A and B are shown apart, each in its own frame.
Chain A
Amino acid sequence: MAELLLDSAIRFWVFMPIVVITFFVGMLRHYISIITAGEKPVDKQQVADSQALIRTRILRENGKYIPKEGFVMRKHFFVNEENGYLTTQQGRQAPIRNPITDPTMMTEMLKNNISNMVPMIVIGGVINWAFSGFLCTKVPFPLTYRFKPMLQRGVELATLDASWLSSVSWYAINIFGQRGINNLLLGENNAADQTKMMQDQMNMAAVSMPQDPSKAFKAEREGLLVVDHQWAFKNVENDVMSQRSYFRSR
């Protein structure tokens, strides 16, 4: 295992500049996104849907605190066969938001892509061009042979340990690793946070339930149908008196 010693000039002129560049570009992206972010108009239907779902949820959870008549009345309002709120809304078709044809979503996607992907690609390319041909750093754990072409772009040495990285891979590590620093300095929800954006794309269950209210309504209806009313205050008088008398007589 060759114990390679890198030139200390690499430390000053490559390693740290890449960290600094990534950080400042991230901050720049964050502020630009704040400036260019338009106000999203809230859809009335979405608001109504999400509020209704909140109400059915609290009915299910806290139904035992109100008398039986109140609970039954509300349950009937929601799940009734002919005109219950959930049954009628369930049949409503959610408008399919095709991203290509819907103009507002298109511009939003375009803006997102431009502000996030393009700087990353451009700067990645610049770093690849400027800092290629030498090793930048080494990861402290051993990697397999498969990682070599990915992580050692400019340096094609067959015998080189896969743990050694080129500058581009160091740049990539910085992009993902600086999420913590960005959170500290710019607060949560900052636009420089790539992983959050990718996570959002994976689970589209937004708070305002944009995509499929009918499924959510169906689930809520079935949940509500199953719930039985157990009044929590059947014996509350005896409970309270025995509790307080106990404390008093001490």
Chain B
Amino acid sequence: MQSAIEKLRKYRDENYRAHDEIIELWTNVLSNRNLSSLGDEKWLILEQIFKSALHCSKQSIARQCLDQLEKQFKRTSRRVSTLNAMYYESIEEYGHAEEIYASLLEDNETDAIVRKRQISLLKEQNQIREAISELNSYLELYQADQEAWSELCDLYLTEHDYTKATFCAEELLLINPHNHLNHERYASIRYSQGDYDKARTYYFSTLKINPSNIRALYGVILTSTNLSIKNPSTASKTQASNDTNQSFIEQIQWAREQIIQKYREAIPDLLPVIETAIQSLTL
């Protein structure tokens, strides 16, 4: 049991996402034992199990943990009230959850967690427009909240509003300029908009940070292909555009070789599949 406790502690501290494993640990090891020997850590563990149970839709386990927490901390604890509201969200009693969040917000207007849960409540009920406007007003206060910008970007993408999604992705780039996934997301949004030039630049910047990002390599192939289509090299065009076309072709070749090499190192069996795939992508 001690190793289970330590594992849970590690997951808590490092913000791991291993909800299945946590639930397994709980059902096999911990639920039968009496956890009072852990003292205060017991409540932290209960909260952690509760959240993982909600992720895995195991409402019965969640109810057990919540009952224990409520017994200890009564209804006045804000943290327990939030958890209670999250439970109502998961069993789809949205009105009840909304009441609890509203009353919590009355007490403390600046509670970021409760506001974010309200927004996710709207998202669950598929009211994307309202969720977007609520998130916008949240971001007017909390301008540097990375999670919120990321969520807003996703919401705009579901609405196919690419210009606004670009803005959010740029914010993420500002907050975390060395995360290759941010660059790749920005490049993909630009590609969907049709801005192949910027997309290509940002796929390359992704590769600069992480040379093993296969999506970025595919992105390079696609964008260079598209750019060279738009820029057909004929004898009458200027030398500069011929040069750029030549460089596109070079880049496509280069990206293709990179992809093949990576697959050769990792899973050589897939090589023929990859080769045909790349053939169909390029001209």
Query: Which residues in window 28-70 of A have CB below 8 A to B?
Result: 41-44, 47-48, 51-52, 54-55, 58-59, 62-63, 65-67, 70
Contact A47 B110 (CB under 8 A): yes
Q: Are A241 and B143 in contact (CB under 8 A)?
A: no
Question: With a CB–CB cut-off of 8 A, which chain A residues contact B208?
Answer: 236, 239-240, 243
A67 CB to closest chain B CB (Å) equals: 6
Cross-interface CB contact of B109 among A44, A66, A239, A243, cutoff 8 Å: A44
Main secondary structure of the interface of B (DSSP, over half): helix
A52: chain B residues within 8 A (beta carbon): 143
B202 contacts A by Cβ under 8 Å: yes
Among the listed stretches B20-28, B66-74, B169-177, B272-280, which one makes contact with chain A, having 4 or more residues with CB under 8 Å of it?
Answer: B169-177
Cα distance, A236 to B187, chains bound together (Å): 14
Of B140, B143, B254, B258, the most chain A CB neighbours within 10 A belong to B143
Among candidates B144, B145, B170, B201, residue contacting A70 with C-beta atoms closer than 8 Å: B170
Considering the complex, which residues of chain B in the window 138-163 have a beta carbon less than 8 Å from any beta carbon of chain A? 140-145
A236 to B175, Cβ gap below 8 A?
no
Given A51-B141, A233-B202, A236-B201, answer yes or no on A241-B211 (Cβ-Cβ < 8 Å). Answer: no
Q: Counting CB contacts under 8 A, is A244 at the interface?
A: yes
Task: Specify which chain B residues have a CB less than 8 angstroms from the CB of A248 in the assembled complex.
Answer: 257, 261
Q: Does B180 count as interface, using CB distance less than 8 angstroms?
A: no
Judge if A245 is at the interface, Cβ distance under 8 Å.
Answer: yes
Q: State whether A51 and B173 are in contact (beta carbons under 8 Å apart), knowing that A236-B201, A241-B251 are contacts in the complex.
A: no
Alpha-carbon separation in the docked complex, A42 to B112 (Å)? 11
Do A236 and B204 have beta carbons less than 8 Å apart?
A: yes
- B contact residues around A237 at 8 Å (CB): 200-201, 204, 247, 251
Interface set of B (CB-CB < 8 Å, partner A)? 108-110, 140-145, 166-167, 170, 173-175, 177, 198, 200-202, 204-205, 207-208, 211, 247, 250-251, 254, 257-258, 261
What are 23 A-B pairs at a CB distance below 8 A? A42-B108, A44-B141, A47-B141, A48-B142, A51-B141, A51-B142, A51-B143, A55-B143, A58-B144, A58-B175, A59-B174, A62-B173, A62-B177, A65-B173, A67-B198, A70-B166, A236-B205, A237-B204, A237-B247, A239-B208, A240-B207, A240-B211, A241-B251
